[in-house]
């Protein structure tokens, strides 16, 4: 297995758009938490990249993407060079946005596709509804803000939803995971975790609330990329490593608040080749799915969206006899802890 595991967050906003933290403050928080990369997504602009904010900030790789924000169907996008005419993209239709991004060598994800909003704080739903769209790289599976905001309209809600937020979160929405599984039956669709963090400041009953300070959000829904070799010290090379891993789907989504999932591994071995997340492999005479976790949890294996194994433990050894799309999950404290990207098993030749 022997991969290098690097942890980071995707979808974050600074004072360049509607966040309340500067790049320096965000990088400081990321370093304090121990992140390896932050993929920023300030709305409809390339100003952070133009201002030289893309760089190593101590031990954290700061990457500047953007969130393209028409009234609905938000799209977060990343690439190696500056995205041209980005401010005009929010005027386009969803497929036109995706195509325009791809034509410049960038790639993107459908952001918070099942966002619910909250009536209590007049936050409208920002669901993705253009499901006939094509060419996008992937979708957000679990967004911290979508999850947390959806709790605010519960009948029994109290200030504890803010003070003890971790006890209120419910994890990825089942409808999101179901749709993701269905999409992967047609083509590879990479799944990522989002935090959509702004560090909003709100007043409630005379109390000033800081909604997910960066150092708190950075310990929640994270993305662990797996590399064959360490991150380069050269910024451009390191950025390319991160983007290629994310685009390929060589990553797993995790909730790091209680338990560190680093050292999680998931592979399929057909006797001749070993495949990792995002890879495709042929079914062999003896093909084995192997997954290991640093701690015990409730483990699940999904084949084409259906659970085929559920057990407590820290390791999965499963011989598989059918082609299809395989992914694994682990739960701890009644919430998803590790959510892998799939490995694709195709029929043998002949």
Q: What is the pLDDT of residues 264-285, one digit of tens each?
A: 999 999 999 999 999 999 999 9
- One-character DSSP codes across 132-184: T-----EEEEEEHHHHHHHHTTSTT--THHHHTGGGT---S-HHHHHHHHHHH
Question: In this structure, are 236 and 318 located in the same domain?
Answer: no
Residue ranges, the chain, pLDDT below 50: none
- In our burial notation (b when 16+ CB lie closer than 10 A, e otherwise), range 177-201 reads bebbbebbeeebbbbbbbbbbbbee
- The CATH number of whichever domain residue 303 belongs to comes to 2.60.40.10
- Is 85 within the bounds of a domain? yes
235 and 279 in a single domain? The answer is no
Q: What per-residue confidence (pLDDT) applies to 108?
A: 98
- Whether 246 and 312 share a structural domain: no
- Residue 2: predicted pLDDT: 61
Do 29 and 147 lie in one domain? The reply is: yes
Characterize the bridge pairing of strands 107-110 and 138-143. Answer: parallel
309 close to 316: Cβ distance less than 8 angstroms: yes
**Pairing assessment for the beta strands 190-194 and 138-143 based on DSSP bridges:** parallel
247 and 270: one domain? no
Q: Record the tokens describing residue 43, joined without a space.
A: 């709305």
Cα angle value 33/261/329 (rounded, 5°): 135
Q: Single out the residue in 235, 255, 275 at which a domain terminates.
A: 255
pLDDT tens for 186-217 read 999 999 999 999 987 777 777 787 889 999 99
pTM over 0.85: yes
Nearest to 167 by CA among 339, 45, 335: 335
pLDDT at 163: 87
Q: How far apart (Å, rounded) are the C-alpha atoms in residues 55 and 33?
A: 18
Going by C-alpha positions, the residue among 320, 338, 342, 341 that lies closest to residue 329 is 338
Residues 269 and 219 occupy one common structural domain? no
Instruction: Examine the domain organization and report whether 34 and 167 are in the same domain.
Output: yes
Predicted local confidence at residue 317, as pLDDT: 98
**Pure H helices in the chain:** 23-33, 47-50, 94-103, 144-151, 160-163, 174-184, 214-217, 235-248
Coil, helix or strand at residue 254: strand
* Structural domain boundaries enclosing 182: 4-255
Both 195 and 271 in one domain: the answer is no
Among residues 225, 255, 285, the one where a domain terminates is: 255
**Same domain? 171 vs 228:** yes
């Amino acid at each position: 297995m022997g991969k290098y595991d690097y942890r980071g967050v995707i979808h974050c906003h600074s004072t360049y758009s509607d966040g309340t933290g500067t790049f320096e403050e965000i990088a400081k928080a990321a370093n304090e938490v121990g992140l390896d990369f932050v993929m920023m997504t300030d709305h409809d602009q390339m100003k952070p990249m133009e201002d030289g904010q893309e760089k190593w900030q101590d031990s954290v790789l700061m990457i500047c993407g953007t969130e393209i924000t028409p009234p609905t169907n938000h799209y977060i996008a990343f690439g190696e060079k500056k995205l041209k005419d980005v401010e005009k993209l929010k005027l386009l239709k969803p497929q036109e946005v995706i195509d325009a991004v791809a034509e410049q060598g960038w790639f993107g994800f459908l952001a918070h596709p099942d966002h619910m909003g909250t009536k209590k704080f007049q936050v409208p739903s920002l669901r993705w509804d253009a499901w006939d769209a094509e060419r996008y790289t992937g979708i957000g599976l679990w967004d911290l803000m979508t999850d947390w905001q959806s709790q605010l309209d519960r009948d029994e809600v109290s200030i504890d939803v803010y003070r003890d937020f971790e006890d209120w979160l419910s994890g990825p929405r089942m409808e999101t995971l179901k749709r993701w599984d269905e999409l992967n039956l047609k083509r590879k669709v990479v799944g990522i975790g989002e935090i959509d963090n702004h560090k909003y400041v709100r007043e409630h009953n005379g109390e000033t609330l800081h909604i997910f300070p960066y150092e708190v959000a950075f310990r929640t829904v994270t993305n662990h990329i797996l590399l064959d070799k360490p991150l380069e010290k050269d910024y451009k090379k390191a950025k390319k490593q991160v983007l290629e891993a994310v685009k390929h789907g060589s990553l797993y989504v995790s909730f790091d608040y209680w338990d560190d999932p680093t050292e999680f591994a998931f592979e399929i071995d057909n006797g001749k080749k070993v495949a990792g997340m995002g890879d495709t492999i042929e079914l062999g005479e003896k093909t084995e799915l192997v997954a290991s976790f640093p701690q015990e949890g409730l483990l699940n294996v999904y084949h084409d969206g259906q659970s085929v194994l559920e057990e407590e433990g820290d390791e999965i050894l499963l011989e598989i006899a059918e082609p299809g799309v395989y992914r694994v999950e682990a739960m701890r404290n009644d919430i998803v802890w590790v959510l892998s990207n799939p490995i694709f098993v195709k029929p043998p030749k002949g």
